[in-house]
Amino acid sequence: MFNSRQYEWADITVFAGNRDITGIRSIKYSEKQEKELLHGKGDKPLSIQKGNKTYEGEIGVLQSELEALAAAAGGSILDLELTVVVSYGNPSKGDMVKVEELLGVQFTEEPREMKQGDKFMEATLPFIFLGKKTKV
């Protein structure tokens, strides 16, 4: 029987630095590849040429998670290199769990921001990585 249930935020688990990131607020990552149309005779392209691949993303965390990551790095998350493991699915709901390992993750910024009226600090941490492995 086919299960068409969609993943929910509660079904996602993220591990970074060998620990479950409970103060996570968002995660986004992508794989990109340079592509260019190759033209020759006429006005229509002959093919699509492929170039370099890049991997980037961002993770939104609460201040306590940012402080824990910074402490693990000895002061700055810019000095970290991690494997981030993202799991989608909930076996208790009949899901097959999909696991994606983001390899060689390094943060490119360590932002901190709060404004009047905020009840907590949330930081969006941009990162780049070397590639990913997917397991189902």
Q: What is the CATH number of the domain that holds 14?
A: 2.30.110.20
pLDDT for residue 112 is more than 80: yes
Residue 131 lies inside a defined structural domain of this protein: yes
The predicted pLDDT at position 3 comes to 58
pLDDT for residue 113 is more than 80: yes
Model confidence band, residue 94 (pLDDT cutoffs 50, 70, 90): confident
Higher per-residue confidence, 120 vs 1: 120
Query: Which residue do the tokens 């907590």 mark?
Result: 120
Name 48's Cβ contacts closer than 8 Å, sequence gap at least 6: 35, 36, 37, 38
State how many domains the chain has. Answer: 1
The alpha-helical segments, DSSP class H, found in the chain are 63-72
Which residue type does 99 have? V
22: left (phi over 0), alpha (psi -120 to 50) or beta: alpha
Residue 93 lies inside a defined structural domain of this protein: yes
Residue 14 lies inside a defined structural domain of this protein: yes
Residue 1 lies inside a defined structural domain of this protein: no
pTM over 0.85: yes
How many Å apart are CA 1 and CA 135, to the nearest integer? 21
Question: Can you point out the beta strands (E) in the chain?
Answer: 12-16, 19-20, 24-39, 45-62, 82-88, 98-107, 122-128, 131-135
How many Å apart are CA 97 and CA 11, to the nearest integer? 9
Model confidence band, residue 14 (pLDDT cutoffs 50, 70, 90): very high
pLDDT for residue 2 is more than 80: no
